[in-house]
Amino acid sequence: MTPQEKILSVAGETILTEAKAIANLEQLLDQNFAKAVEAIYESKGRVIITGIGKSAAIATKIVATLNSTGTPAVFMHAADAIHGDLGTIGKDDVVICISKSGNTPEIKVLVPLIKNFKNTLIGITGSPDSFLGQQADFIINSYVEKEACPNNLAPTTSTTAQLVMGDALAVCLLNLRGFSSKDFARYHPGGALGKKLYLRVSDITAQNQKPVVHPETPVPQVIIEISEKMLGVAAVLENDKIVGIITDGDIRRMLYKSTDISGLTARDIMSSSPKTISQEAMAVDALDVLEENKISQLLAEENGVYSGVVHLHNLIREGIL
């Protein structure tokens, strides 16, 4: 076996080991999990998630997922908690403690303090019979048979299992809250993801000029309009209604047939019944229309009235594509 083949073999074994462990988690779901979700959903406070070592790293990711899906959450490091950070916990908060063994010294110190506050305590652990398992109000079992680490020491499969259980919690809560794509957009306003959820056609057309010609506009004037507005297109309007479209491609095809354009008007070279989209449609929907029809420009309208142009370059610039 070559060194590269060995690398790929080990990588494959790691993935299969973790995949098997994740598949087994479904068998570990019980009423404790359901009650834990209900406790969080019915709580008037936040979710405080704590852990130490690799479990702390997983806790921060679960916190981020909950926050982005409508469940306010805060990370509290288990070691820092016993040195002042216990003040993070409010009287209505639900606390989730993550620990593979459930028996680490920090957990044994921290858990009784949390219990003194009388907050609901949820444990995510692979050892339900551990100290954490015995003290928690609800246990989410994240047991794995073995770590992907060949020495069965480095937290690998176990932390993946913790992460998956955290995702399961977040998705169940999202479902209970009826959390929609519009809600998601409010929490993710930045970047391409956010723009796909909130950017509308009207936001795009507002950036562009509105190239317009009429059916009887001479072709030389059409060329000037297209060039000046720099969108490679002009809408053809008659009685304020869109009756056609002329693109750079239409101009090139016309000139390929004949360089004598005297006497030609927009009506002679326009494409009738162009693709249009509502001004209130999402920008990502405009992208779908462009890709489906293999075109670069799309005319927008509002209540049947021409309102502007969406160009493929606009969507690329916004990060939609």
The binding site consists of 77
Token readout for 56 is: 């702390």
CB 129 within 8 A of CB 143: no
CB 106 within 8 A of CB 85: no
Residues 222, 153: Cα–Cα separation, whole Å: 73
Residue 271: strand pairing partners:
245
Residues 76, 89: Cα–Cα separation, whole Å: 9
One DSSP character per residue, 105-147 reads: HHHHHHHHHHHHTT-EEEEEES-TTSHHHHH-SEEEE---S--
What is the C-alpha radius of gyration for the chain, rounded to an integer number of angstroms?
30
Annotated binding site for Zn(2+): 77
H or E segment at 286?
Answer: helix 283-293
Write 258-267 long-range contacts (CB < 8 A, 24+).
Answer: 261/219, 261/220, 264/218, 264/219, 265/215, 265/216, 265/217, 265/218, 265/219, 266/213, 266/214, 266/215, 266/216, 266/217, 266/219, 266/222, 266/234, 266/236, 267/215, 267/216, 267/236
Residue 76: strand pairing partners:
50
